[in-house]
Amino acid sequence: MVLHRAVSMRRREIRMVKSLQSVSALLLGSAILLFAGGLNGMILPVRGGLEGFGAIALGLLGTGWAIGYVAGCLATPRLVAGIGHIRAFTLMSALAGMAVLLSLLLIHPAAWVVLRALSGFCFAGAAMIVESWLNERTEARLRGKVFGIYTMVGLAATTTGQMALTFAPIEGHVLFVLAGAFYCLSLVPVALTTSGAPQPLVVVRLDLAGLWRNSPVAVFAAFMLGISNSSFFTLHVVYAEQVGLGLTVVALFAAVPVMAGALSQIPVGILSDRMDRRIVLLGLCLMAVAADAAFIFLAPHGQWTNLIVVALFGATSLAIYPVAMAHANDHAAPGAFIQTSGGILMVLGVGSIFGPLLAGVLMNALGPQALFYTTIVSHCATAAFTIVRMMTARAVPQAQKGAFHVTQPGRISTPEMAVLIEDASTRSPADESKAYVQEGRPILQAA
């Protein structure tokens, strides 16, 4: 019996190693892409502040990114269908590199907003292609582990990219060139891979009415969270600089909430699988409100106080989205995980368009703490709406609840991530052919 278990474990280890070898180029390409994206996202607000850009202009960078990202999710499947995966990924990486390099040459708010939108478009497209390929090349039984590795690789790469802000003076050209070089470098592993091209990418169709009927709480929370998190992750660097934190602490101020959000999802997921997810969602919102209020009313200026409070913000605010997603899927029809997840993701993206602009206007008029006026209103509104729904609608029976899925905090996911999560948790090899219902892949629409 012991020998049989040892042999089985050894076989699983061999399969895992082979599976990772088959996707190693994709994981490397994704890591390089996310490193460049993390650095790119830090350079512009910091350099923009030095160049005298106002909070409104810097907020528009986040609006541009969100518009580009949503457009990339919508347009990439058709682009890939026309020119193929490798050519499309090469195009995305090259254009993203060009965008960050042009940001160095065209130092003007209007130019940066357009170039940031191009970066968002390219980043969404490249991420969708990598995630589609990763899903295709991994055995069904190993997708859960590979998905976990992919999430951790992405988290580590993004955080490292953010911390790379301290590698060179922000006043010069080195960081821009470094980000551009890594965007270009990300296409090398994918271009050299011998793996066959995956199935066509998912096509997104947003049906707000259907999503609302499915789960009002999830739709409302996703939209408000898009406003809140996009505001924070666009302008948190501006806040940190304006309250007098040094460059190293500014980089930590960006990295700490992402790390805290990743760690908090584990206990939050366990808790939400055991009780009404709306209660967990409400608790997260109230704790996020506490973090927002600490920034507004305490107006901390010390580095440790800011880092502790921002850790609480990240641990709570970044855990709301996966809870809302899981709640939406609890109400979805059987087999509609991808459709529901993709729709909620698009709602999050739409909310992300408005948040940075609103926060930028408030910061420009009222100072750095006004960043958290946007987040506290979003979190309070979500909490209030959740309470109303708890009073008017019953909780999902425990037997009908699905599983909680960890997401990459601090980053808007892509519809391909919904496919990867579903495959990692629910799909068996026998189900593989059933899921690809149109053009080889599902069309995302409300359940």
Close Cβ partners of 374 (under 8 Å, ≥ 6 residues apart): 227, 228, 231, 355, 358, 359, 362
For the purposes of burial, counting CB atoms within 10 Å of the CB of 262, is it exposed (0-12), middle (13-18) or buried (19 or more)? buried
Farthest CA pair distance, the chain: 71
Alpha-carbon distances of 36 from 68, 158, 225, 226, 353, rounded to whole Å:
17, 8, 25, 23, 22
pTM: 0.81
Q: Which two tokens stand for residue 229?
A: 């998190």
Looking at the predicted structure, is the pLDDT value of residue 218 above 70? yes
Q: Which two tokens stand for residue 404?
A: 């909680």
CA atoms within 13 A on the CB side of 413: 28
User: What's the pLDDT score for residue 207?
Assistant: 67
Q: Render pLDDT for 369-392 as a digit per residue (tens, 0 to 9).
A: 999 999 999 999 999 999 998 888
Alpha-carbon distances of 73 from 23, 115, 383, 436, rounded to whole Å:
22, 17, 29, 18
Q: Render pLDDT for 146-193 as a digit per residue (tens, 0 to 9).
A: 666 777 787 888 888 888 888 888 888 899 999 999 988 888 887 776
Residue of 21, 23, 162, 185 lying closest to 97 (CA atoms): 185
Neighbours of 377 (CB within 10 A): 17
User: What's the pLDDT score for residue 88?
Assistant: 85
Q: Please tell me the distance from the alpha carbon of residue 283 to that of residue 297, in angstroms, as a whole number.
A: 21
Q: Judge whether 346 and 73 are in contact, CB under 8 Å.
A: yes
Q: Please tell me the distance from the alpha carbon of residue 169 to that of residue 40, in angstroms, as a whole number.
A: 14
Residue of 120, 130, 125 lying closest to 191 (CA atoms): 130
Residue 86: pLDDT band by 50, 70, 90 thresholds? confident
Q: Judge whether 386 and 221 are in contact, CB under 8 Å.
A: yes
Residue 106: pLDDT band by 50, 70, 90 thresholds? very high
Please give the mean pLDDT across all residues of the chain.
79
Give the SS3 label for residue 441.
strand
User: What's the pLDDT score for residue 287?
Assistant: 96
**Average pLDDT, integer, range 221-236:** 92
Q: Is pLDDT larger for residue 327 or for residue 22?
A: 327
β partners of residue 248: none
User: What's the pLDDT score for residue 439?
Assistant: 36
Q: Which two tokens stand for residue 255?
A: 């990295």
Percent of the chain with pLDDT over 90: 29
Close Cβ partners of 36 (under 8 Å, ≥ 6 residues apart): 96, 97, 100, 161, 179, 180, 182, 183, 185, 186
**Considering only 102-111, 148-157, 317-326, which range has the smallest mean pLDDT?**
148-157
The segment with the largest mean pLDDT, out of 106-110, 199-203, 390-394, 417-421, is: 106-110
Residue with token string 């793996």: 195
Looking at the predicted structure, is the pLDDT value of residue 416 above 70? no
Q: Please tell me the distance from the alpha carbon of residue 17 to that of residue 19, in angstroms, as a whole number.
A: 5
Q: Judge whether 373 and 296 are in contact, CB under 8 Å.
A: yes
**Average pLDDT, integer, range 231-257:** 89
Backbone dihedral angles phi then psi of residue 13, each to the nearest 5 degrees: -65, -40
Residue 299, phi-psi category: left (phi > 0), alpha (psi -120 to 50), beta (remainder): left
Q: Which two tokens stand for residue 176?
A: 């821009």
Q: Judge whether 422 and 337 are in contact, CB under 8 Å.
A: yes
Q: Is pLDDT larger for residue 346 or for residue 112?
A: 112
Q: Please tell me the distance from the alpha carbon of residue 243 to that of residue 38, in angstroms, as a whole number.
A: 22
Q: Please tell me the distance from the alpha carbon of residue 245 to that of residue 234, in angstroms, as a whole number.
A: 17
Looking at the predicted structure, is the pLDDT value of residue 34 above 90? no
Alpha helix segments (H runs only) across 204-336: 208-214, 216-242, 247-274, 277-293, 303-331
User: What's the pLDDT score for residue 6?
Assistant: 52
Percent of the chain with pLDDT over 70: 74
Reduced DSSP (H G I as helix, E B as strand, rest coil) percent helix, strand, coil of the chain, to 5: 80, 0, 20
Q: Which two tokens stand for residue 340?
A: 């529901």
Q: Please tell me the distance from the alpha carbon of residue 414 to that of residue 259, in angstroms, as a whole number.
A: 20
Q: Which two tokens stand for residue 1?
A: 């019996």
Looking at the predicted structure, is the pLDDT value of residue 53 above 50? yes
Task: Give the domains, in start order, of the chain with CATH numbers.
Answer: 24-444 (1.20.1250.20)
Q: Please tell me the distance from the alpha carbon of residue 118 to that of residue 101, in angstroms, as a whole number.
A: 12
Q: Is pLDDT larger for residue 284 or for residue 437?
A: 284
**Average pLDDT, integer, range 234-249:** 88
- What residue type is assigned to position 308 of the chain? I
Q: Is pLDDT larger for residue 103 or for residue 275?
A: 103
Residue of 131, 355, 127 lying closest to 222 (CA atoms): 355
Looking at the predicted structure, is the pLDDT value of residue 437 above 60? no
Give the SS3 label for residue 204.
strand
Looking at the predicted structure, is the pLDDT value of residue 432 above 70? no
Residue of 76, 35, 42, 87 lying closest to 61 (CA atoms): 42
Residue 415: pLDDT band by 50, 70, 90 thresholds? low
